[in-house]
Structure 1
Protein backbone atom coordinates (compact mmCIF):
# COMPACT_ATOMS: atom_id res chain seq x y z
CA UNK A 1 0.00 0.00 0.00
CA UNK A 2 1.45 3.35 -1.03
CA UNK A 3 1.90 5.80 1.80
CA UNK A 4 0.47 8.88 0.07
CA UNK A 5 1.84 11.34 2.61
CA UNK A 6 5.31 9.91 2.19
CA UNK A 7 4.81 10.02 -1.57
CA UNK A 8 3.92 13.70 -1.57
CA UNK A 9 6.73 14.79 0.72
CA UNK A 10 9.32 12.33 -0.52
CA UNK A 11 8.88 12.77 -4.26
CA UNK A 12 12.15 13.21 -6.08
CA UNK A 13 13.01 15.08 -9.24
CA UNK A 14 12.21 12.69 -12.06
CA UNK A 15 12.07 12.89 -15.83
CA UNK A 16 13.06 11.25 -19.09
CA UNK A 17 16.79 11.67 -19.54
CA UNK A 18 17.00 13.87 -16.44
CA UNK A 19 20.24 13.90 -14.43
CA UNK A 20 20.68 10.83 -12.27
CA UNK A 21 19.83 11.32 -8.62
CA UNK A 22 21.74 9.95 -5.68
CA UNK A 23 20.50 6.45 -5.00
CA UNK A 24 20.90 4.29 -1.97
CA UNK A 25 23.34 1.42 -2.24
CA UNK A 26 20.55 -1.02 -1.36
CA UNK A 27 18.60 -0.23 -4.53
CA UNK A 28 18.62 -2.97 -7.20
CA UNK A 29 20.92 -2.61 -10.17
CA UNK A 30 19.43 -2.68 -13.62
CA UNK A 31 19.68 -5.50 -16.13
CA UNK A 32 19.33 -5.22 -19.91
CA UNK A 33 17.63 -7.79 -22.14
CA UNK A 34 17.84 -7.98 -25.93
CA UNK A 35 14.35 -7.94 -27.40
CA UNK A 36 15.11 -10.35 -30.20
CA UNK A 37 17.14 -13.59 -30.13
CA UNK A 38 18.95 -12.51 -33.31
CA UNK A 39 18.69 -9.50 -35.56
CA UNK A 40 15.39 -7.63 -35.32
CA UNK A 41 12.93 -8.41 -38.10
CA UNK A 42 13.23 -6.68 -41.45
CA UNK A 43 16.75 -5.37 -41.09
CA UNK A 44 18.23 -6.59 -44.36
CA UNK A 45 18.65 -3.05 -45.72
CA UNK A 46 19.59 -1.35 -42.48
CA UNK A 47 23.06 0.19 -42.56
CA UNK A 48 22.98 2.61 -39.62
CA UNK A 49 25.31 2.30 -36.65
CA UNK A 50 23.84 2.60 -33.18
CA UNK A 51 25.31 5.40 -31.10
CA UNK A 52 24.57 7.35 -27.95
CA UNK A 53 25.62 10.94 -27.33
CA UNK A 54 24.96 13.46 -24.61
CA UNK A 55 21.83 15.40 -25.45
CA UNK A 56 23.65 18.67 -24.91
CA UNK A 57 27.33 19.46 -24.41
CA UNK A 58 26.69 20.31 -20.76
CA UNK A 59 24.48 17.27 -20.06
CA UNK A 60 25.50 14.82 -17.33
CA UNK A 61 26.86 11.45 -18.50
CA UNK A 62 23.51 9.64 -18.35
CA UNK A 63 21.48 12.33 -20.16
CA UNK A 64 21.70 10.59 -23.51
CA UNK A 65 20.20 10.58 -26.97
CA UNK A 66 20.30 7.26 -28.84
CA UNK A 67 20.38 7.18 -32.64
CA UNK A 68 20.34 4.41 -35.24
CA UNK A 69 18.98 1.74 -32.94
CA UNK A 70 19.95 -1.70 -34.24
CA UNK A 71 19.92 -3.45 -30.88
CA UNK A 72 16.55 -2.73 -29.26
CA UNK A 73 16.52 -3.59 -25.58
CA UNK A 74 14.45 -3.74 -22.41
CA UNK A 75 16.25 -2.47 -19.32
CA UNK A 76 14.77 -3.73 -16.05
CA UNK A 77 14.82 -2.11 -12.64
CA UNK A 78 13.43 -4.52 -10.08
CA UNK A 79 11.74 -3.33 -6.90
CA UNK A 80 12.92 -4.33 -3.45
CA UNK A 81 9.27 -4.90 -2.42
CA UNK A 82 7.15 -5.85 -5.45
CA UNK A 83 3.56 -4.62 -5.54
CA UNK A 84 2.44 -7.07 -8.24
CA UNK A 85 2.56 -4.52 -11.04
CA UNK A 86 4.95 -3.69 -13.85
CA UNK A 87 5.47 -0.70 -16.14
CA UNK A 88 6.81 -0.62 -19.67
CA UNK A 89 8.39 2.84 -19.88
CA UNK A 90 8.61 4.34 -23.38
CA UNK A 91 10.82 7.44 -23.72
CA UNK A 92 10.33 10.06 -26.41
CA UNK A 93 12.48 11.81 -28.97
CA UNK A 94 10.25 12.66 -31.92
CA UNK A 95 10.97 9.28 -33.59
CA UNK A 96 14.33 10.86 -34.51
CA UNK A 97 16.19 9.68 -31.43
CA UNK A 98 15.42 8.24 -28.02
CA UNK A 99 16.15 10.45 -25.04
CA UNK A 100 16.73 8.40 -21.91
CA UNK A 101 19.24 7.41 -19.30
CA UNK A 102 20.63 3.89 -19.89
CA UNK A 103 18.66 2.46 -16.96
CA UNK A 104 15.51 4.50 -17.53
CA UNK A 105 16.66 7.29 -15.24
CA UNK A 106 14.86 8.72 -12.23
CA UNK A 107 11.40 7.79 -13.52
CA UNK A 108 12.28 4.09 -13.58
CA UNK A 109 13.80 4.19 -10.11
CA UNK A 110 10.99 6.32 -8.73
CA UNK A 111 8.39 3.72 -9.65
CA UNK A 112 10.62 0.80 -8.68
CA UNK A 113 10.89 2.32 -5.21
CA UNK A 114 7.10 2.13 -5.08
CA UNK A 115 7.00 -1.56 -5.93
CA UNK A 116 6.76 -1.61 -9.73
CA UNK A 117 8.97 -3.73 -11.93
CA UNK A 118 9.99 -1.16 -14.55
CA UNK A 119 11.27 -1.97 -18.03
CA UNK A 120 12.58 0.89 -20.18
CA UNK A 121 12.29 0.35 -23.92
CA UNK A 122 15.01 1.29 -26.39
CA UNK A 123 13.18 0.92 -29.70
CA UNK A 124 14.08 1.09 -33.37
CA UNK A 125 13.45 4.28 -35.33
CA UNK A 126 11.19 4.08 -38.38
CA UNK A 127 13.35 6.00 -40.86
CA UNK A 128 16.46 3.80 -40.50
CA UNK A 129 15.53 1.40 -43.29
CA UNK A 130 13.55 -1.28 -41.44
CA UNK A 131 11.20 -3.21 -43.69
CA UNK A 132 8.27 -2.53 -41.38
CA UNK A 133 8.79 1.24 -41.64
CA UNK A 134 6.53 3.01 -39.15
CA UNK A 135 5.53 -0.32 -37.58
CA UNK A 136 9.11 -1.12 -36.49
CA UNK A 137 8.77 0.73 -33.15
CA UNK A 138 5.44 -1.00 -32.54
CA UNK A 139 7.05 -4.38 -33.19
CA UNK A 140 9.59 -3.60 -30.48
CA UNK A 141 6.92 -2.36 -28.08
CA UNK A 142 4.85 -5.54 -28.47
CA UNK A 143 7.90 -7.77 -28.04
CA UNK A 144 9.14 -5.77 -25.03
CA UNK A 145 5.73 -5.95 -23.38
CA UNK A 146 5.71 -9.73 -23.72
CA UNK A 147 9.19 -10.04 -22.21
CA UNK A 148 8.26 -7.72 -19.35
CA UNK A 149 5.13 -9.78 -18.67
CA UNK A 150 7.32 -12.88 -18.47
CA UNK A 151 9.66 -11.20 -16.01
CA UNK A 152 6.78 -9.87 -13.92
CA UNK A 153 5.09 -13.26 -13.53
CA UNK A 154 1.67 -14.64 -14.46
CA UNK A 155 -0.31 -12.77 -11.79
CA UNK A 156 1.21 -9.33 -12.37
CA UNK A 157 -0.70 -6.39 -13.84
CA UNK A 158 1.50 -4.98 -16.60
CA UNK A 159 0.90 -1.52 -18.04
CA UNK A 160 2.65 1.02 -20.24
CA UNK A 161 3.59 4.66 -19.78
CA UNK A 162 5.01 6.88 -22.50
CA UNK A 163 6.21 10.43 -22.95
CA UNK A 164 5.92 12.70 -26.02
CA UNK A 165 6.56 10.51 -29.10
CA UNK A 166 6.95 7.66 -26.63
CA UNK A 167 3.38 8.47 -25.60
CA UNK A 168 2.32 7.91 -29.20
CA UNK A 169 4.07 4.54 -29.26
CA UNK A 170 2.63 3.59 -25.86
CA UNK A 171 -0.81 4.56 -27.14
CA UNK A 172 -0.31 2.47 -30.26
CA UNK A 173 0.60 -0.52 -28.10
CA UNK A 174 -2.51 0.03 -25.98
CA UNK A 175 -4.82 0.48 -28.96
CA UNK A 176 -3.34 -2.05 -31.42
CA UNK A 177 -2.35 -4.83 -29.03
CA UNK A 178 -4.24 -7.42 -31.08
CA UNK A 179 -2.48 -6.57 -34.34
CA UNK A 180 0.18 -9.06 -35.42
CA UNK A 181 3.00 -6.75 -36.48
CA UNK A 182 5.69 -9.44 -36.88
CA UNK A 183 5.97 -13.17 -37.50
CA UNK A 184 6.20 -15.36 -34.39
CA UNK A 185 9.81 -15.73 -33.25
CA UNK A 186 9.47 -18.05 -30.24
CA UNK A 187 7.12 -18.99 -27.41
CA UNK A 188 7.36 -15.50 -25.90
CA UNK A 189 5.20 -14.29 -28.76
CA UNK A 190 2.34 -16.51 -27.62
CA UNK A 191 1.76 -14.08 -24.76
CA UNK A 192 -0.93 -11.42 -25.25
CA UNK A 193 0.32 -7.86 -25.74
CA UNK A 194 -2.61 -5.99 -24.20
CA UNK A 195 -1.54 -3.67 -21.36
CA UNK A 196 -3.67 -3.59 -18.24
CA UNK A 197 -3.50 0.22 -18.26
CA UNK A 198 -1.78 3.08 -20.06
CA UNK A 199 -0.40 6.46 -19.00
CA UNK A 200 0.34 8.95 -21.80
CA UNK A 201 2.14 12.16 -20.88
CA UNK A 202 2.33 15.19 -23.21
CA UNK A 203 1.80 12.63 -25.98
CA UNK A 204 2.07 12.96 -29.72
CA UNK A 205 -1.37 11.79 -30.86
CA UNK A 206 -2.49 13.04 -34.27
CA UNK A 207 -0.67 13.00 -37.59
CA UNK A 208 -3.18 15.44 -39.09
CA UNK A 209 -2.83 19.19 -39.42
CA UNK A 210 -3.15 21.62 -37.76
CA UNK A 211 -2.14 19.93 -34.50
CA UNK A 212 0.38 17.32 -35.65
CA UNK A 213 3.91 17.43 -34.25
CA UNK A 214 5.75 17.95 -37.51
CA UNK A 215 9.04 16.18 -36.68
CA UNK A 216 7.30 13.07 -35.31
CA UNK A 217 5.05 12.85 -38.36
CA UNK A 218 7.95 13.33 -40.76
CA UNK A 219 10.12 10.73 -39.04
CA UNK A 220 7.28 8.22 -38.69
CA UNK A 221 5.38 8.41 -41.99
CA UNK A 222 7.38 10.75 -44.23
CA UNK A 223 7.16 14.31 -45.47
CA UNK A 224 4.12 13.88 -47.71
CA UNK A 225 1.90 11.13 -46.27
CA UNK A 226 -1.45 10.48 -47.90
CA UNK A 227 -4.75 10.61 -46.03
CA UNK A 228 -4.84 6.87 -45.41
CA UNK A 229 -1.37 6.87 -43.86
CA UNK A 230 -2.22 9.86 -41.69
CA UNK A 231 -5.38 8.16 -40.46
CA UNK A 232 -3.65 4.84 -39.74
CA UNK A 233 -0.99 6.44 -37.54
CA UNK A 234 -3.19 9.00 -35.80
CA UNK A 235 -3.85 7.60 -32.37
CA UNK A 236 -7.25 9.24 -32.04
CA UNK A 237 -8.37 7.26 -35.11
CA UNK A 238 -7.31 3.84 -33.79
CA UNK A 239 -9.09 3.57 -30.43
CA UNK A 240 -10.92 0.23 -30.00
CA UNK A 241 -13.70 -0.29 -27.48
CA UNK A 242 -11.51 -2.75 -25.56
CA UNK A 243 -8.56 -0.41 -25.16
CA UNK A 244 -7.30 -0.55 -21.55
CA UNK A 245 -8.00 2.27 -19.09
CA UNK A 246 -5.91 5.27 -20.12
CA UNK A 247 -4.61 8.31 -18.23
CA UNK A 248 -3.60 11.37 -20.28
CA UNK A 249 -1.80 14.48 -19.09
CA UNK A 250 -0.33 17.55 -20.78
CA UNK A 251 0.27 21.26 -20.23
CA UNK A 252 -1.79 23.98 -21.89
CA UNK A 253 1.34 25.98 -22.71
CA UNK A 254 3.13 23.12 -24.51
CA UNK A 255 4.79 24.73 -27.54
CA UNK A 256 6.20 21.48 -28.91
CA UNK A 257 3.22 19.11 -29.02
CA UNK A 258 -0.02 21.13 -28.94
CA UNK A 259 -2.28 20.31 -26.03
CA UNK A 260 -5.04 19.62 -28.55
CA UNK A 261 -3.37 16.23 -29.08
CA UNK A 262 -4.32 15.14 -25.56
CA UNK A 263 -7.80 16.64 -25.82
CA UNK A 264 -8.44 14.83 -29.10
CA UNK A 265 -7.32 11.57 -27.57
CA UNK A 266 -9.54 11.96 -24.50
CA UNK A 267 -12.51 12.73 -26.74
CA UNK A 268 -11.78 9.58 -28.77
CA UNK A 269 -11.60 7.50 -25.59
CA UNK A 270 -15.01 8.83 -24.53
CA UNK A 271 -16.55 8.08 -27.92
CA UNK A 272 -15.46 4.47 -27.62
CA UNK A 273 -16.54 4.13 -23.99
CA UNK A 274 -12.98 3.52 -22.77
CA UNK A 275 -12.27 4.29 -19.13
CA UNK A 276 -10.00 7.30 -19.13
CA UNK A 277 -8.94 10.48 -17.41
CA UNK A 278 -7.27 13.67 -18.59
CA UNK A 279 -5.37 16.22 -16.54
CA UNK A 280 -4.31 19.47 -18.22
CA UNK A 281 -1.95 21.69 -16.27
CA UNK A 282 -2.20 25.41 -16.93
CA UNK A 283 1.58 25.60 -17.40
CA UNK A 284 4.55 23.28 -17.52
CA UNK A 285 5.45 23.24 -21.20
CA UNK A 286 6.71 20.10 -22.89
CA UNK A 287 8.56 17.44 -20.93
CA UNK A 288 7.24 18.37 -17.50
CA UNK A 289 7.81 14.83 -16.24
CA UNK A 290 10.96 15.91 -14.41
CA UNK A 291 10.61 17.53 -11.02
CA UNK A 292 13.82 19.52 -10.84
CA UNK A 293 11.75 22.71 -10.90
CA UNK A 294 10.01 22.44 -7.54
CA UNK A 295 7.60 25.21 -8.52
CA UNK A 296 6.44 23.40 -11.65
CA UNK A 297 3.15 21.50 -11.82
CA UNK A 298 4.82 18.46 -13.36
CA UNK A 299 6.01 17.32 -9.95
CA UNK A 300 2.44 16.18 -9.22
CA UNK A 301 1.89 13.84 -12.16
CA UNK A 302 3.04 10.63 -10.42
CA UNK A 303 0.60 11.23 -7.57
CA UNK A 304 -2.26 11.94 -9.96
CA UNK A 305 -1.43 8.89 -12.06
CA UNK A 306 -1.13 6.55 -9.06
CA UNK A 307 -4.34 7.87 -7.51
CA UNK A 308 -6.13 7.18 -10.79
CA UNK A 309 -4.53 3.78 -11.15
CA UNK A 310 -5.65 2.78 -7.68
CA UNK A 311 -9.27 3.55 -8.61
CA UNK A 312 -9.38 1.27 -11.64
CA UNK A 313 -11.44 -1.86 -11.10
CA UNK A 314 -8.77 -4.00 -12.80
CA UNK A 315 -6.11 -2.84 -10.36
CA UNK A 316 -5.28 -3.70 -6.82
CA UNK A 317 -5.29 -0.60 -4.60
CA UNK A 318 -1.97 1.28 -4.76
Structure 2
Protein backbone atom coordinates (compact mmCIF):
# COMPACT_ATOMS: atom_id res chain seq x y z
CA UNK A 1 0.00 0.00 0.00
CA UNK A 2 2.78 2.43 0.93
CA UNK A 3 4.70 1.50 -2.21
CA UNK A 4 1.56 2.14 -4.29
CA UNK A 5 1.05 5.56 -2.70
CA UNK A 6 4.69 6.45 -3.26
CA UNK A 7 4.27 5.51 -6.91
CA UNK A 8 1.28 7.85 -7.25
CA UNK A 9 3.20 10.67 -5.59
CA UNK A 10 6.13 10.09 -7.95
CA UNK A 11 3.88 10.25 -11.04
CA UNK A 12 2.25 13.44 -9.82
CA UNK A 13 5.66 14.96 -9.09
CA UNK A 14 6.98 14.11 -12.57
CA UNK A 15 3.85 15.53 -14.15
CA UNK A 16 4.11 18.78 -12.20
CA UNK A 17 7.77 19.18 -13.11
CA UNK A 18 7.33 18.45 -16.82
CA UNK A 19 4.24 20.53 -17.58
CA UNK A 20 3.26 24.12 -16.93
CA UNK A 21 -0.03 25.94 -17.31
CA UNK A 22 -0.75 26.76 -20.96
CA UNK A 23 -0.49 30.28 -22.29
CA UNK A 24 -2.95 31.27 -25.03
CA UNK A 25 -1.85 34.07 -27.33
CA UNK A 26 -3.76 35.75 -30.14
CA UNK A 27 -2.04 35.02 -33.44
CA UNK A 28 -2.91 38.34 -35.05
CA UNK A 29 -3.53 40.87 -32.24
CA UNK A 30 -3.61 43.71 -34.76
CA UNK A 31 -5.69 41.87 -37.33
CA UNK A 32 -4.82 39.20 -39.90
CA UNK A 33 -3.59 40.17 -43.37
CA UNK A 34 -6.29 38.00 -44.98
CA UNK A 35 -9.85 36.94 -44.16
CA UNK A 36 -11.71 33.65 -44.32
CA UNK A 37 -15.08 35.37 -44.61
CA UNK A 38 -16.59 33.63 -41.57
CA UNK A 39 -18.94 35.90 -39.63
CA UNK A 40 -20.82 33.39 -37.45
CA UNK A 41 -19.57 32.75 -33.90
CA UNK A 42 -17.04 30.04 -33.16
CA UNK A 43 -18.76 26.83 -32.08
CA UNK A 44 -18.02 23.46 -30.47
CA UNK A 45 -19.84 20.63 -32.23
CA UNK A 46 -18.21 18.35 -29.64
CA UNK A 47 -16.31 19.01 -26.42
CA UNK A 48 -12.96 18.32 -28.10
CA UNK A 49 -13.77 20.06 -31.40
CA UNK A 50 -14.01 23.68 -32.48
CA UNK A 51 -15.56 24.98 -35.72
CA UNK A 52 -16.03 28.31 -37.50
CA UNK A 53 -12.62 29.52 -36.34
CA UNK A 54 -12.00 33.10 -37.46
CA UNK A 55 -9.93 34.37 -34.51
CA UNK A 56 -6.82 32.16 -34.41
CA UNK A 57 -4.61 31.64 -31.41
CA UNK A 58 -1.61 29.68 -30.21
CA UNK A 59 -1.96 27.63 -27.02
CA UNK A 60 1.55 27.15 -25.62
CA UNK A 61 2.65 24.61 -23.01
CA UNK A 62 6.21 25.64 -21.99
CA UNK A 63 8.51 22.85 -20.84
CA UNK A 64 9.74 23.18 -17.25
CA UNK A 65 13.15 21.80 -18.23
CA UNK A 66 13.55 22.74 -21.91
CA UNK A 67 15.91 20.80 -24.15
CA UNK A 68 15.87 23.40 -26.93
CA UNK A 69 13.01 22.00 -29.04
CA UNK A 70 9.51 23.31 -29.66
CA UNK A 71 6.66 21.70 -31.62
CA UNK A 72 3.64 23.52 -33.07
CA UNK A 73 0.73 21.11 -33.62
CA UNK A 74 -1.96 21.65 -36.26
CA UNK A 75 -5.03 19.50 -35.44
CA UNK A 76 -7.02 17.86 -38.22
CA UNK A 77 -10.69 18.08 -39.07
CA UNK A 78 -10.96 18.20 -42.84
CA UNK A 79 -10.48 21.98 -42.83
CA UNK A 80 -14.05 22.19 -41.45
CA UNK A 81 -13.28 21.94 -37.71
CA UNK A 82 -10.32 21.26 -35.41
CA UNK A 83 -9.84 18.10 -33.33
CA UNK A 84 -8.29 19.94 -30.40
CA UNK A 85 -8.11 16.88 -28.14
CA UNK A 86 -6.32 13.76 -29.40
CA UNK A 87 -4.63 15.65 -32.25
CA UNK A 88 -3.76 18.68 -30.15
CA UNK A 89 -3.80 19.45 -26.45
CA UNK A 90 -3.79 15.81 -25.27
CA UNK A 91 -0.15 15.48 -26.37
CA UNK A 92 1.13 18.42 -24.30
CA UNK A 93 2.21 16.44 -21.24
CA UNK A 94 4.02 13.83 -23.38
CA UNK A 95 6.04 16.47 -25.22
CA UNK A 96 6.73 18.47 -22.05
CA UNK A 97 8.05 15.35 -20.35
CA UNK A 98 10.71 15.18 -23.09
CA UNK A 99 11.70 18.78 -22.40
CA UNK A 100 9.90 20.04 -25.50
CA UNK A 101 7.82 23.22 -25.44
CA UNK A 102 4.55 22.34 -27.14
CA UNK A 103 1.98 24.58 -28.80
CA UNK A 104 -1.39 23.89 -30.41
CA UNK A 105 -2.38 26.13 -33.29
CA UNK A 106 -6.06 27.00 -33.45
CA UNK A 107 -5.93 28.04 -37.09
CA UNK A 108 -8.70 29.60 -39.16
CA UNK A 109 -10.91 27.53 -41.45
CA UNK A 110 -10.52 28.24 -45.20
CA UNK A 111 -14.31 28.35 -45.60
CA UNK A 112 -14.49 26.78 -49.06
CA UNK A 113 -11.86 28.68 -50.96
CA UNK A 114 -9.90 31.06 -48.72
CA UNK A 115 -6.86 28.86 -49.22
CA UNK A 116 -4.18 31.32 -48.05
CA UNK A 117 -5.60 31.55 -44.53
CA UNK A 118 -4.38 28.29 -42.83
CA UNK A 119 -0.87 28.70 -44.25
CA UNK A 120 -0.80 32.32 -43.18
CA UNK A 121 -1.64 31.26 -39.62
CA UNK A 122 0.94 28.46 -39.55
CA UNK A 123 3.78 30.70 -40.70
CA UNK A 124 2.75 33.39 -38.23
CA UNK A 125 2.79 30.81 -35.43
CA UNK A 126 6.39 29.94 -36.27
CA UNK A 127 7.37 33.62 -36.28
CA UNK A 128 5.62 34.14 -32.96
CA UNK A 129 7.38 31.20 -31.32
CA UNK A 130 10.74 32.49 -32.54
CA UNK A 131 10.05 35.65 -30.59
CA UNK A 132 9.98 33.58 -27.39
CA UNK A 133 13.16 31.55 -28.00
CA UNK A 134 15.06 33.06 -25.07
CA UNK A 135 12.11 33.02 -22.69
CA UNK A 136 11.27 29.34 -23.28
CA UNK A 137 14.73 28.01 -24.10
CA UNK A 138 14.01 27.22 -27.76
CA UNK A 139 16.63 26.57 -30.44
CA UNK A 140 14.65 24.58 -33.03
CA UNK A 141 10.95 24.83 -33.92
CA UNK A 142 9.08 22.07 -35.68
CA UNK A 143 5.63 21.95 -37.25
CA UNK A 144 3.36 18.95 -36.70
CA UNK A 145 -0.01 18.07 -38.16
CA UNK A 146 -2.58 15.30 -38.37
CA UNK A 147 -4.86 14.64 -41.36
CA UNK A 148 -5.85 18.06 -42.80
CA UNK A 149 -3.58 19.53 -40.13
CA UNK A 150 -0.86 17.50 -41.82
CA UNK A 151 -1.62 19.44 -44.98
CA UNK A 152 -1.24 22.69 -43.04
CA UNK A 153 2.08 21.49 -41.63
CA UNK A 154 3.46 20.17 -44.92
CA UNK A 155 2.35 23.38 -46.66
CA UNK A 156 4.30 25.39 -44.09
CA UNK A 157 7.28 23.06 -44.68
CA UNK A 158 7.19 23.64 -48.46
CA UNK A 159 5.83 27.20 -48.80
CA UNK A 160 7.68 28.99 -46.00
CA UNK A 161 9.17 32.46 -46.20
CA UNK A 162 12.66 33.48 -45.14
CA UNK A 163 11.59 34.23 -41.57
CA UNK A 164 9.20 31.29 -41.07
CA UNK A 165 10.97 28.07 -42.07
CA UNK A 166 10.31 25.23 -39.60
CA UNK A 167 13.34 23.22 -38.54
CA UNK A 168 11.53 19.87 -38.84
CA UNK A 169 8.09 18.40 -39.55
CA UNK A 170 6.04 15.59 -38.00
CA UNK A 171 3.09 14.36 -40.07
CA UNK A 172 0.39 11.94 -38.87
CA UNK A 173 -1.74 10.37 -41.63
CA UNK A 174 -1.41 13.67 -43.56
CA UNK A 175 -3.30 15.06 -46.49
CA UNK A 176 -0.46 16.00 -48.84
CA UNK A 177 -1.95 16.34 -52.31
CA UNK A 178 -4.96 18.18 -53.70
CA UNK A 179 -5.02 16.04 -56.85
CA UNK A 180 -8.14 13.99 -57.55
CA UNK A 181 -7.76 10.32 -56.74
CA UNK A 182 -5.13 11.05 -54.11
CA UNK A 183 -6.51 13.85 -51.95
CA UNK A 184 -9.14 13.81 -49.21
CA UNK A 185 -12.12 15.23 -51.05
CA UNK A 186 -13.60 17.12 -48.09
CA UNK A 187 -10.31 18.87 -47.34
CA UNK A 188 -9.91 19.84 -51.00
CA UNK A 189 -13.44 21.29 -51.14
CA UNK A 190 -12.99 23.34 -47.95
CA UNK A 191 -9.53 24.60 -48.93
CA UNK A 192 -9.89 25.24 -52.67
CA UNK A 193 -13.63 25.56 -53.24
CA UNK A 194 -15.80 23.66 -55.73
CA UNK A 195 -14.06 24.48 -59.02
CA UNK A 196 -10.37 25.21 -58.40
CA UNK A 197 -8.05 25.84 -61.32
CA UNK A 198 -5.38 23.27 -62.12
CA UNK A 199 -2.77 25.86 -61.14
CA UNK A 200 -4.34 26.23 -57.70
CA UNK A 201 -4.51 22.44 -57.27
CA UNK A 202 -0.81 22.18 -58.13
CA UNK A 203 0.08 25.01 -55.75
CA UNK A 204 -1.38 23.13 -52.77
CA UNK A 205 -0.20 19.66 -53.81
CA UNK A 206 2.81 19.70 -51.55
CA UNK A 207 4.57 16.71 -53.07
CA UNK A 208 5.28 19.04 -56.02
CA UNK A 209 7.04 21.68 -53.92
CA UNK A 210 9.72 19.78 -52.06
CA UNK A 211 13.23 21.19 -52.44
CA UNK A 212 16.58 20.37 -50.81
CA UNK A 213 15.74 23.13 -48.30
CA UNK A 214 12.57 21.40 -47.10
CA UNK A 215 13.03 20.47 -43.41
CA UNK A 216 13.55 16.86 -42.23
CA UNK A 217 10.35 14.85 -41.84
CA UNK A 218 8.84 12.11 -39.70
CA UNK A 219 5.76 10.59 -41.36
CA UNK A 220 3.25 8.13 -39.91
CA UNK A 221 0.36 6.44 -41.73
CA UNK A 222 -1.68 3.22 -41.78
CA UNK A 223 -2.16 1.01 -44.84
CA UNK A 224 -5.88 0.61 -44.14
CA UNK A 225 -6.62 4.35 -43.94
CA UNK A 226 -9.90 4.75 -45.87
CA UNK A 227 -10.13 8.52 -45.35
CA UNK A 228 -6.73 9.80 -46.48
CA UNK A 229 -5.00 7.29 -48.78
CA UNK A 230 -1.56 6.20 -47.63
CA UNK A 231 -0.30 7.23 -51.08
CA UNK A 232 -0.28 10.80 -49.77
CA UNK A 233 2.56 9.91 -47.42
CA UNK A 234 4.28 7.72 -50.00
CA UNK A 235 4.33 10.49 -52.62
CA UNK A 236 5.71 12.98 -50.10
CA UNK A 237 8.34 10.49 -48.94
CA UNK A 238 9.47 9.93 -52.53
CA UNK A 239 9.69 13.68 -53.17
CA UNK A 240 11.71 14.24 -50.01
CA UNK A 241 14.05 11.34 -50.80
CA UNK A 242 14.53 12.58 -54.38
CA UNK A 243 15.60 15.98 -53.06
CA UNK A 244 18.00 14.57 -50.48
CA UNK A 245 15.88 15.57 -47.48
CA UNK A 246 16.18 13.36 -44.39
CA UNK A 247 12.89 11.49 -43.95
CA UNK A 248 11.60 8.73 -41.69
CA UNK A 249 8.42 6.90 -42.71
CA UNK A 250 6.43 4.43 -40.60
CA UNK A 251 3.46 2.63 -42.15
CA UNK A 252 1.47 0.31 -39.89
CA UNK A 253 -0.79 -2.41 -41.31
CA UNK A 254 -3.92 -1.34 -39.48
CA UNK A 255 -5.27 1.54 -37.43
CA UNK A 256 -7.39 3.43 -39.92
CA UNK A 257 -7.55 7.20 -39.63
CA UNK A 258 -7.77 9.80 -36.89
CA UNK A 259 -6.27 7.81 -34.02
CA UNK A 260 -4.06 10.68 -32.85
CA UNK A 261 -2.99 10.16 -29.25
CA UNK A 262 -5.76 7.69 -28.41
CA UNK A 263 -4.72 4.75 -26.23
CA UNK A 264 -6.94 2.52 -28.39
CA UNK A 265 -4.50 2.74 -31.32
CA UNK A 266 -2.71 -0.60 -31.41
CA UNK A 267 0.66 0.93 -32.30
CA UNK A 268 0.61 3.93 -29.97
CA UNK A 269 3.61 2.76 -27.95
CA UNK A 270 5.55 2.14 -31.14
CA UNK A 271 4.88 5.44 -32.87
CA UNK A 272 5.38 7.60 -29.80
CA UNK A 273 8.62 5.79 -29.04
CA UNK A 274 9.83 6.26 -32.61
CA UNK A 275 9.03 9.99 -32.54
CA UNK A 276 10.92 10.40 -29.26
CA UNK A 277 13.91 8.55 -30.71
CA UNK A 278 13.82 10.55 -33.95
CA UNK A 279 13.68 13.88 -32.13
CA UNK A 280 16.48 12.85 -29.80
CA UNK A 281 18.83 11.30 -32.36
CA UNK A 282 18.06 13.03 -35.66
CA UNK A 283 16.81 16.51 -34.72
CA UNK A 284 18.44 17.24 -31.38
CA UNK A 285 21.52 14.99 -31.03
CA UNK A 286 23.47 17.72 -29.25
CA UNK A 287 20.72 18.08 -26.63
CA UNK A 288 21.53 20.12 -23.55
CA UNK A 289 19.31 21.36 -20.79
CA UNK A 290 18.72 25.02 -21.52
CA UNK A 291 18.68 27.16 -18.41
CA UNK A 292 15.64 29.41 -18.21
Task: Establish whether TM, by shorter chain, passes 0.5.
Answer: yes
Calculate the TM-score normalised by the size of structure 2: 0.86
Q: Which runs of 5+ in 1 are unaligned?
A: 1-22, 55-62, 180-191
2:246 maps to: 275
Aligned length: 272
Q: Map 1:232-247 to 2 at 5 A.
A: 232-247=203-218
Judging changes above 3 Å, is the alpha-carbon distance between structure 1 residues 45 and 293 closer, same or farther for their aligned structure 2 residues?
A: closer
CA distance in 2: counterparts of 1:91 and 1:316, whole angstroms? 29
1:185 maps to: none
2:168/2:283 contact within 8 Å kept? no
1:142-167 deviation per Cα after TM superposition (whole angstroms, max 9, x unaligned)? 11111112223375111111111101
1:74 maps to: 58
Deviation, structure 1 residue 169: 0.5
Q: Which runs of 5+ in 2 are unaligned?
A: 1-13
The answer to whether residue 157 in structure 2 is matched with residue 171 in structure 1 is no
CA distance in 1: counterparts of 2:269 and 2:226, whole angstroms? 19
CA distance in 2: counterparts of 1:315 and 1:74, whole angstroms? 27
Secondary structure in 2 matching 1:273: coil
1:301 maps to: 271
1:32/1:76 contact within 8 Å kept? yes
2:43 maps to: 51
1:117/1:152 contact within 8 Å kept? no
1:213/1:256 contact within 8 Å kept? yes
1:96-124 deviation per Cα after TM superposition (whole angstroms, max 9, x unaligned)? 11110499422122101211111100001
The answer to whether residue 1 in structure 2 is matched with residue 31 in structure 1 is no
CA distance in 2: counterparts of 1:204 and 1:193, whole angstroms? 21
CA distance in 2: counterparts of 1:126 and 1:93, whole angstroms? 12
Bigger shift: 37-46 or 145-154? 37-46
1:7 maps to: none
2:198 maps to: 227
Deviation, structure 1 residue 41: 2.2
Over aligned residue pairs, what C-alpha RMSD do you find? 2.3
1:311/1:317 contact within 8 Å kept? no
1:75/1:103 contact within 8 Å kept? no
CA distance in 2: counterparts of 1:284 and 1:135, whole angstroms? 32
Calculate the TM-score normalised by the size of structure 1: 0.79
